[in-house]
Amino acid sequence: MTTTTPHDEAADLRRRLADSLTSGGALSHTSPWHKAFAAVSREAFVPRFSVRSGGELRSFGAKDAGYLAVVYSDDTLVTRRDEAGTPVSSSSTPSLMARMLEAFTVADGAQVLEIGTGTGYNSALLCHRLGSENVTTIDVDPDLTATARERLAVIGYTPLVVTSDGTRAYTTGARYDGVLATCGVDRVPAAWVRQVRPGGVIVTNIGDGIIRLVVDGDGTARGGFLPDEASFMRARPTADHVAPTAPEFTGLVVNGKGVARTMDVPVPDDDEHDEMVDRVKAFFGEFVHRPALEIGMLQHDVLAMTLDPEGDTMHGLVHPESGSWARITPRAGARALVEYGGPRDLVTERLALTTQWLAAGRPHLGAYTLAVTADGAHTLSRAEPAARSWAL
């Protein structure tokens, strides 16, 4: 009789995960990262976590039935939340991690800086490929860095783990062959650009996409976006920072009193939506959930929501910093009632961006490029279709 130990099961699941990342296209067939995924223990970094499955949030511990199978699924495993219940640390979806690592085109033995240590799993993948002595990883949360350092050491990895705000320059002034950020940013910090050698790469989540930048000889980082949408937990300025969330402003959106006007909803003919009501719904789905990259980057600090109080659908936009808000209630035909308050007219801003994006044929993320100078100036560009540039 043959028995399978948990160790054997985990090793088999690791190999299957690595193979599935390759067969699914997240890794190339010659990728040097395949061996890392096949070798590094993910369960070492997630003894407890929650995961959303079929709309239900489930919690798992190492002794729970099915634990290892979920650990090696292509799911995000949330390990910590802030006081508002917002996830602030997780082991990200392996296929997304793999796509970012594949875009992180550094040579063997390269010196790299990881922003956002989190659980430490991605740090371990970097150490396996590049060697612990070549990896520096930073996180603002001392509890996360302490735990990650311990778990990395248990499985044989000893990168330099630093507790600091990773969006600022690392104090040694070291320069790296690459910076990989496993957290989301609204702008690429100039400190990252200055800390990467000419020819080095920066890979990070910005807006709703993953950008890969190469630093050139004049200190400017230029590059394009990976084709698939992606979003990471946002970088935190301090370990106890609690970011505002849309539900906090439900009362303001529903009950706010301000300027009112009607709006013509720009609903172009759509083969998939013959009825006007369907086309209006489709428009607001795009308007609110911002698939246009330029919306995510130019209105990165605007929260959005869709509500259905008493059966009357309304959409809300809120800019917490200025107190600006807007409520959009669709009416008969291609019309909507807009009510808003505060110094920013959020609807006019977003409507212009959405209309331009629709007129350009809903360009995908791969149509955009970004340039970031050493002093932090950002220029977002789109060549085709309908060339445009935005100074951020």
Taking only the tens place, the pLDDT of each residue in 99-128 is 999 999 999 999 999 999 999 999 999 999
- Active-site residue, 132 included: no
Tell me the pLDDT band of 279, cut-offs 50, 70 and 90: confident
Closest CA to 190 of 202, 200, 199: 202
Q: How confident is the model at residue 1 (pLDDT cuts 50, 70, 90)?
A: very low
The answer to whether residue 2 scores a pLDDT higher than 80 is no
Question: What is the overall mean pLDDT for the chain?
Answer: 91
Report whether the peptide linkage leading into residue 237 is cis, meaning its omega lies within 30 degrees of zero.
Answer: no
- Residue 74 is given by DSSP the state S
Q: Which residues touch 259 (CB under 8 Å, ≥6 apart)?
A: 339, 340, 341
**Rounded Cα gap, residues 67 and 49, in angstroms:** 10
Q: Which residues contact 185 (CB under 8 A, 6 or more apart)?
A: 167, 204, 205, 206, 234, 235
Tell whether the model's pLDDT for residue 297 goes beyond 50: yes
Query: Which tokens go with 215?
Result: 């630093």
Q: Any residues with CB less than 8 A from the CB of 30 and at least 6 apart, and which?
A: none
pLDDT at 317 > cutoff 60: yes
Instruction: Tell me the CATH architecture of domain 6-225.
Output: 3-Layer(aba) Sandwich (3.40)
The separation between CA 282 and the C-alpha centre of its own chain, rounded to angstroms, equals 24
Digit-coded pLDDT (tens) for 132-147: 999 999 999 999 999 9
- Flag whether pLDDT at 324 surpasses 50: yes
Percentage of the residues of the chain whose pLDDT score is greater than 90:
73
Q: What pLDDT band is residue 6 in, cutting at 50, 70 and 90?
A: low
For residue 61, the model assigns a pLDDT of 94
pLDDT reported for residue 329: 94
246-359 classified as CATH 3.30.160: yes
Q: pLDDT grade, residue 305 (50/70/90)?
A: very high
- pLDDT of residue 4 exceeding 70, the answer is no
Residue 270 has what DSSP assignment? B
* 85-100 CB burial, b ≥16 within 10 A, e <16: eeebbbbbbbbbbbbb
Give the bridge partners for 115, in sequence order: 138, 181
Amino acid 344: pLDDT: 96
Instruction: Dump strand ranges (E) for 140-229.
Output: 160-163, 176-185, 196-206, 209-215, 221-225
Q: How confident is the model at residue 310 (pLDDT cuts 50, 70, 90)?
A: low
Tallying the residues shown for the chain, one arrives at 392
Q: Collapsing DSSP states into helix, strand and coil, what is residue 380?
A: strand
Q: Which of 16-25, 289-298, 313-322, 370-379 has the lowest mean pLDDT?
A: 289-298
One of 31, 89, 92, 95 is an active-site residue; which one? 89
User: Could you state, in order of their start, the residue ranges of all structural domains in the chain?
Assistant: 6-225, 246-359
Q: What is the pLDDT of residue 170?
A: 73
For the segment 18-28, what is each residue's pLDDT rounded down to a tens digit?
A: 999 999 999 99
Which residues have CB under 8 Å from 243's CB, separation 6+? 82, 84, 86, 234, 236
Q: Could you give the count of Cα atoms lying within 13 Å of 48 in the half-sphere of its Cβ?
A: 4
Per-residue pLDDT tens over the stretch 155-200:
999 999 999 999 986 767 779 999 999 999 999 999 999 999 999 9
- pLDDT, position 311: 66
Q: What is the pLDDT of residues 42-96, one digit of tens each?
A: 999 999 999 987 778 899 999 999 999 999 999 999 999 988 788 889 999 999 9
